[in-house]
Amino acid sequence: MSLLLGGVSRAFGGVRAVDDASFSVADGEVHGLIGPNGAGKTTLLNLVSGLLRPTGGKIELDGRRIDGLPPNRVAALGVARTYQNIRLFGGLSAADNVVVGQHLRRNAPVWRRLLLLPSARNEERAAREAAEAGLARVGMRERALTRAFNLSYGEQRRVEIARALAAQPRLVLLDEPTAGMNPNEAAAVARLVREVANEGRAVLLIEHNVRLVMELCDRVTVLNFGKVIARGTPVEIGKDPAVIAAYLGESQ
Ligand SMILES: Nc1ncnc2c1ncn2[C@@H]1O[C@H](COP(=O)(O)OP(=O)(O)OP(=O)(O)O)[C@@H](O)[C@H]1O
Ligand SMILES: [Mg+2]
């Protein structure tokens, strides 16, 4: 069992953004996290990655409590993520963004690397090679030296995915990785996510594209107003009356 959430809650003032949520994500599993806008999906990812502390409940990674740990400690335990609002350094190349991401994750002094002290050079070279391999994996080899602000939205998302995967995480958290992508790009990301899970990593995926969720996910958890309203296989979720009502409610 890789990730376990037990009765996790997070309130913002009077808003219960996540309300007593329990579910688990196993190694090798692609677990979908879906729900209407404002359901609490991003808040839940922020709780797992350490950006937010829960106001109740527990989060365990392989049986070890991680709730309350700062993001760098959670990352050091093998958790990597992408963001709904892309977080890249616009003036840096795609490759440098992936490299910098690795430094931040290690929480090592960046200045030491920027000075390129001899002791840091080998590590720097390894980080760069990992970055280039990661970019190749998301189909961005030719764009490695392009500055992030010159990349399309879909390409920027792919750089974020490469940055997350460069850490060789055991658990990958993806917040709407295909948003703004064309269907070909989205299909390529779906294939990549499956590959990543096949390597034995756990994937928790927030995704609005229902068809993609249905095709890709092993299991799905549905949030509505912070609460888990359904859990199961895509087929089970697809015919769950509470899920159908939540989505119809959104479109009215
Ligand atoms: N930092 C914050 N301060 C106050 N309220 C917040 C904060 N972050 C989220 N919320 C509120 O918590 C609720 C859940 O938001 P969240 O962003 O987690 O939803 P979501 O499911 O990711 O939605 P979307 O599909 O639109 O991305 C919303 O009511 C939101 O306004
Ligand atoms: Mg969100």
Residue 143: the pLDDT is: 95
Instruction: Give the residue among 58, 48, 53, 52 at the shortest CA–CA distance from 22.
Output: 58
Mutate to test the pocket of ligand 1, among 41, 47, 85, 178 (most ligand atoms within 8 A of CB): 41
Q: Is 35 in the pocket of ligand 1 (CB under 6 A)?
A: yes
Where in the chain are the domains? Answer: 3-78+169-251, 89-154
Find the ligand nearest to 18 CA: 1
Cα separation of 249 and 36, whole Å? Answer: 9
Give the DSSP letter of residue 143.
G
Q: Is 43 in the pocket of ligand 1 (CB under 6 A)?
A: yes
Residues sharing a CB contact under 8 Å with residue 35, sequence separation 6 or more, in sequence order:
41, 222, 223, 224, 229, 246
Which of ligand 1's atoms lies nearest the C-alpha of 40?
Answer: 18
Residue 127: the pLDDT is: 83
Task: Give me ligand 2 centre to Cα 45, in Å.
Answer: 9
Task: Give me ligand 1 centre to Cα 163, in Å.
Answer: 24
Residue 252: pLDDT above 50? no
Residue 247: the pLDDT is: 80
Which CATH number is correct for 3-78+169-251, 3.90.1150.10, 3.10.290.10, 3.20.20.150, 3.40.50.300? 3.40.50.300
- Residue-wise pLDDT tens digits, 160-169: 999 999 888 9
Q: Measure Cα distances from 214 to 49, 148, 206 in Å.
A: 25, 31, 13
Query: Which residue has its alpha carbon closest to ligand 1 atom 11?
Result: 17
Task: Give me ligand 1 centre to Cα 164, in Å.
Answer: 22
Mean pLDDT for 26-33 is 98
| Tokens 């879909």, residue located | 154
Which of ligand 1's atoms lies nearest the C-alpha of 223?
Answer: 21
